[in-house]
Amino acid sequence: MTTLEQAVALQIPGWQERVKTLNKVHGEVDLGPVTVGATIGGMRDLKALVCDTSYLDPLEGIRFRGFTIPEVQALLPRPAAGLEPYPTGLFWLLVTGEVPTAAQVLELESDLRARAEVPAHIYDVLRALPRDTHPMTQFCMAITAMQGSSTFAARYGAGTLPKGGYWQPTLEDSLDLIARLPAVAAFIYRRSFHDGRVIPADPNLDWGANFAHMMGITDAGYHDLMRLYLLLHIDHESGNVSAHAAHLVGSALSDVYLSVSAGMHGLAGPLHGLANQECMKWIEDLMQQLGSNPSPAEVRQYAWDTLKSGRVIPGYGHAVLRKTDPRYFAQREYSLQKGMGSHPVVRIVHLLYDIVPDVLLEQGKAKNPWPNVDAHSGALQVYYGVKEQDFYTVLFGVSRAMGVCAQLIWDRALGMPLERPKSVTLEMLEEAAGIQR
Ligand code: HAX
């Protein structure tokens, strides 16, 4: 049976050759203009990054190595007890481009189990923080604090790592980090919101279900939801803030711990991953004001009040997508399949789908009035009793770390250089635009 490392190793020479040809022979091919609008407008649509783990089409949504979400759900191996595939199977797919066999996923699961011990000082670092420190801040600090165990940093520092070999310790670090994250996140959850008791891993559970178990949740339904959640949030090509931040920091040859931590700092922003927390807070406020069964007219007014106060409606809009996020649909379908539709919060999330896009269209600012992944995820957590909104982005982070790691492994395998775009002054832009001052 081919291991994950062997599967990557086999592919690297062919991919390196493709990069070499593109760079050496076709390096001057024009990919389109760099406009003043893109330069001052957050680089929208600028084709300035390479990412093969996933691709985000504005109308179709995400494809993981060419596969849509329903295809991935149908193709990947799943545990006997669950409806949803192993998220680690998707990590395999992202890293290798190949759909893993059940035996390969089980081998990866067992490898992760063997690597799962978190260095003791990480818990000391977390315990030193006030309990009300935001869980994402704790999560970022824990990841950074694990940096001392980076195989890449140790070998690079010792001068024993040729450039062609960078990817191997990057894979090692990735596997170590991914293996440890559920225990770290569960520790944060239990210390911040519960009795702080550490629940040991269950060797009979898969990586995803174990995370739920260590949070203290025994409901098999939640274990299944956790697999879905970890599957859906894993990767969204490389221009999003978390993946791009990780790639940028990684381009300085900072190791996986430093790079993923950088990505997580970006994920913690309200316009990115924190939107899931913001969204549930917004819905909670709505329910406090209007009760649990508001009329469409009341919800519409509530949405307008948010816009008029200068705030965004969390969970709606996207920098690339121009239709409803298929990750939203996957969660909506799951909630309907599982008969969650009559839960008050789930019902409101579904009602918002009928109202908010029209409100945003009427306002006429947002280029995409449709919901993104964060519009639905919190409601499913609430359904299973996970009501601590401040923790939601950590759930996102455990999943996103896998996608970011898959990207970093390939950054190293392909010898991606230091990222260093050129900045210009505002005056230069004015000159380019023919503006006289
Ligand atoms: N509510 C109100 N206004 C919105 C909006 C929303 N949901 N979405 C976009 N707009 C506004 C923008 O703020 C912008 O206003 P200004 O011109 O006054 O600056 C205008 O519409 C044009 O923005 P855009 O081009 O459509 O969107 P951007 O690419 O600039 O931003 C965002 C994309 C996701 C940041 C934006 O849609 C937003 O703020 N959404 C709400 C927050 C959110 O859900 N974030 C999560 C996104 C998905 C993700 O990364 N998940 O992790």
pLDDT digits (tens, 9 = 90+) for 108-163: 999 999 999 999 999 999 999 999 999 999 999 999 999 999 999 999 999 999 99
Q: How far is CA 211 from CA 69, 117, 226, in A?
A: 22, 13, 8
Q: How far is the CA of 397 from the centre of ligand 1 (A)?
A: 21
Residue carrying the six token digits 């809009």: 317
Ligand 1 pocket: which of 367, 376, 392 to mutate (most atoms within 8 A of CB): 367
Known active-site residue 272: yes
| Closest approach atom of ligand 1 to CA 273 | 52
Q: Establish whether 134 is a catalytic residue.
A: no
pLDDT at 41: 96
Residue nearest to atom 16 of ligand 1 (CA): 365
**Distance (Å) from CA 265 to ligand 1 centroid:** 19
Q: Which residue has the least CA distance to atom 39 on ligand 1?
A: 271
Top CATH class, 101-215+234-269: mainly alpha
Q: Which residues have CB under 8 Å from 208's CB, separation 6+? A: 86, 87, 88, 223, 226, 227, 230
Q: 319 C-alpha vs ligand 1 centroid, how far in Å?
A: 7
Q: List the chain pLDDT tens, one digit each, 437 residues.
A: 999 999 999 999 999 999 999 999 999 999 999 999 999 999 999 999 999 999 999 999 999 999 999 999 999 999 987 789 999 999 999 999 999 999 999 999 999 999 999 999 999 999 999 999 999 999 999 999 999 999 999 999 999 999 999 999 999 999 999 999 999 999 999 999 999 999 999 999 999 999 999 999 999 999 999 999 999 999 999 999 999 999 999 999 999 999 999 999 999 999 999 999 999 999 999 999 999 999 999 999 999 999 999 999 999 999 999 999 999 999 999 999 999 999 999 999 999 999 999 999 999 999 999 999 999 999 999 999 999 999 999 999 999 999 999 999 999 999 999 999 999 999 999 999 999 98
Cβ atoms of 119 and 149 closer than 8 Å: yes
The model carries a pTM of: 0.98
- Whether residue 265 lies in the annotated active site: no
Q: What pLDDT does 83 receive? A: 84
Cβ-contact 260, 246 below 8 angstroms: yes
The alpha carbon of 315 and the centre of ligand 1 are apart by a number of angstroms equal to 9
Catalytic-labelled residue, pool 223, 265, 272, 376: 272
How many other C-beta atoms can be found within 10 angstroms of the C-beta atom of residue 269? 15
CB 94 within 8 A of CB 161: no
- Residues with CB under 6 Å of ligand 1 are 240, 271-273, 275, 307, 312-319, 365-368, 372-374
Q: Where are the domains of the chain?
A: 101-215+234-269
| pLDDT at residue 81 in the model | 79
Q: What is the pLDDT of residues 145-156, one digit of tens each?
A: 999 999 999 999
pLDDT reported for residue 437: 84
* Angle (nearest 5°) at CA 329 between 327 and 330: 65
pLDDT of residue 82: 78
